[in-house]
Amino acid sequence: MKNLFVVIISIGLLMSCSNNSTMIKNTYQWPNTAAPIAATKPYTRIMHNDTVVDPYYWMIDYFKKGPDSSKVVDYLTLENKYTDTMMAGTNNLQAKLFTEMKARIKEKDESVPAFKNGYFYYTRTEEGKQYYKYCRKKGSLDAKEEILLDVDQMAVGKAYYSVSTISVSPNNQLLAYGIDEVSRNQYTIHIKNLVTGEIYPDAIALTGGDPVWANDNKTLFYTSNNSVTLLSEKIKKHILGKSGNDATVYEEKDKSNYIGVGKTKNGQYIFIVSQATLSAELRMIHADHPDTDFKIFQPRMKNVLYDIVALDNKFLIRTNWNALNFRLMECSLDKTDSSNWKEVIPHRKDVLIQGVEEFKDFIVINERKNGLVNLRVKNNITGKEHYINFEEAAYTAGLGANPEYKTSSLRYNYTSLTTPSTVYDYDLNTKVKTLKKQQEVVGGYNPQDYQTERIYATATDGTKIPISLVYKKGLDKNGMAPLLLYAYGSYGISMDVNFSSTRLSLLNRGFVYAIAHIRGGEDLGRQWYEDGKLMKKKNTFTDFIDCGSYLIQQKYTSSNHLYAQGGSAGGLLMGAVTNMAPELWNGVIAQVPFVDVVNTMLDESIPLTTNEFDEWGNPKNKDAYFYLKSYSPYENIERKKYPNLLVTTGLHDSQVQYFEPAKWVARLRSMKTDKNIVLLKTNMEFGHGGASGRFDYLKDIALNYAFLFALEGITE
């Protein structure tokens, strides 16, 4: 994340020609400074009779506390100094970009209040403050404000500060919340008395930050994590004020499963979820009886996922059991195993059921068709159905904050590449929608100044890959415009279009921004995901390359002006396409990139490794090992030319550990035959998600943009 830059040319002036050349461009003068050279200490890996020598394996030692632990920090510090030196010429531009992007954010703001159990809950921010305040009002928005947590005050003096989802007791008097001050997603749960303001001495460390109250207002359930692997291993029960160790109510033996605990919206049940990529199992108790044993809802079945919502008289089950795109089923409250499930909405080849929002008299089904979300409303009493109408051809819609069960008002969110984030309340009876709030872009914003498109590239195997684009009107499609292509492509996560006020700083300087909806996500249904994981993972990479090539063919850009960006698993994508088609990109931004795939998946002590076997494959299996090795970015670096690279990571990253990008950069530098720039920036205080403050993250974006602008010669 955060980084500093270099540009040494005079400030460009605005030109009055086409969108392609709104800024004077100059060649950026990179300082003649030598990059750090990492020490090599050969480490031999032998697996399936395959011998691999890893010269940079020693970099793993910061968390392993090995003999090279301090040398790791020294090396990362040298890399940071090199990046700072190389980018120093863009410091003024970065400062300008930060100020420009921050100025578009409404500093004094408030979320749309959400009603639950007699109170309106909301967050608000104040001018100049990095964080926010959790607040509520009893019964009416005209009532006196009650500040539950003042995070601005709590975070004073902290380099990083994150509050997990807050949980209010059923009697509205107690607040449970988690705090992470290291950025490794390990939360300490605290309990506050909302009547007296007292913070109780109960402090529960190493949790998932997911406290769930039983209906007795004194019993809390939470996820307990392993201190080394950080895996969610146990669900424990804490009784307010009771000393001694908390009782374990469930322990997960399968290390490939994530576990968590939650509560149904109607407040009747507490459930434990154990889920891997390919299977799920739920347990539950009645929330009135926290001392009873959890009962299995339906034992885990091979390759079967399911989740539930509770209505007053039945459970609804969303499952892929004999239904690739999922179907909706139901069962009684007392007979929950699959032999008693009855179909409510059948499987459809062209529609993915993504989720269900339940209310006392309605359910709202979140569906995806042709890459777009549809919200389907069904009356539980009459059985009548309808869809909510969305006006734009390309958009993103999603269910908003709907914590109240006994209501006929649905809150949903809406955005597009040109429509700022918008919140609506929709009357499920009258079908009338009410605009509650639209993101304000301070300083003014006219969506009519920008153009969006949705085009389709043809993949190597003939599959049509959607690409969403946005740019400032006046673009000449002559191949001269700079274009930033973004994608993720893993875990079935769909890359829906959205509005970004920070992106305006890119578009207003002549860039085209594009999202490649590649396989590995669920953009076009569950099969889209299945065709981009495990032994089909390379489809993700070739899809992205084919999208880049198509954009060049259609003269949106050229290889001299085409840039790629992705983070985490999208950083793996960046590493793979950099190896596979280095000539296609002028520059690549790889954020917290998962690039040392084989070594990470072989080391079960690394956080999250065992949870990922069904996504990537277990390299202890010979076929999986050689397939992973065939695309792992770190192991496929060759002696050839590579594009310019900006690589960012965080020392405390718990999801993609710092040593993966560090090793990758060191090896790239030792192998590449060109003079292009490779920069590594390690944030020494943060983890996977970067800075926690609501403005600090803009410095990361300013660095990314300044890197692109330096390569384009844009100085203003």
Query: What are the catalytic residues?
Result: 568, 653, 688
Nearest CA to 72 out of 59, 54, 55 is that of 59
Nearest CA to 38 out of 58, 22, 64, 21 is that of 58
Detail the DSSP E strand segments found in 105-186.
Answer: 109-110, 114-116, 119-125, 133-138, 146-150, 162-163, 167-168, 174-180
What span, in angstroms and rounded, lies between the C-alpha atoms of 115 and 94? 41
3-state SS track over 282-343: EEEEECCCCCCCCEEEECCCCCCCEEEEECCCCEEEEECCCCCCCEEEEECCCCCCHHHCEE
What span, in angstroms and rounded, lies between the C-alpha atoms of 52 and 48? 11
User: Rounded to a whole number, what is the distance in angstroms from the first to the last CA of the chain?
Assistant: 22
Helix (H, G, I), strand (E, B) or coil at 367: strand
What span, in angstroms and rounded, lies between the C-alpha atoms of 224 and 248? 9
What span, in angstroms and rounded, lies between the C-alpha atoms of 581 and 587? 12
Nearest CA to 517 out of 483, 545, 484, 543 is that of 543
Tell the burial category of 392 from Cβ atoms under 10 Å away from its Cβ (0-12, 13-18, 19+).
Answer: middle
What span, in angstroms and rounded, lies between the C-alpha atoms of 504 and 510? 10
Nearest CA to 412 out of 429, 394, 434, 440 is that of 434
Q: Report residue 189 as tokens.
A: 């749960």
In sequence order, the β-bridge partners of residue 469 are: 453, 514
Q: Report residue 418 as tokens.
A: 């040109």
Q: Report residue 323 as tokens.
A: 């239904």
C-alpha pair distances (Å), 322 with each of 281, 304, 565, 689: 17, 8, 37, 36
What span, in angstroms and rounded, lies between the C-alpha atoms of 540 and 528? 10
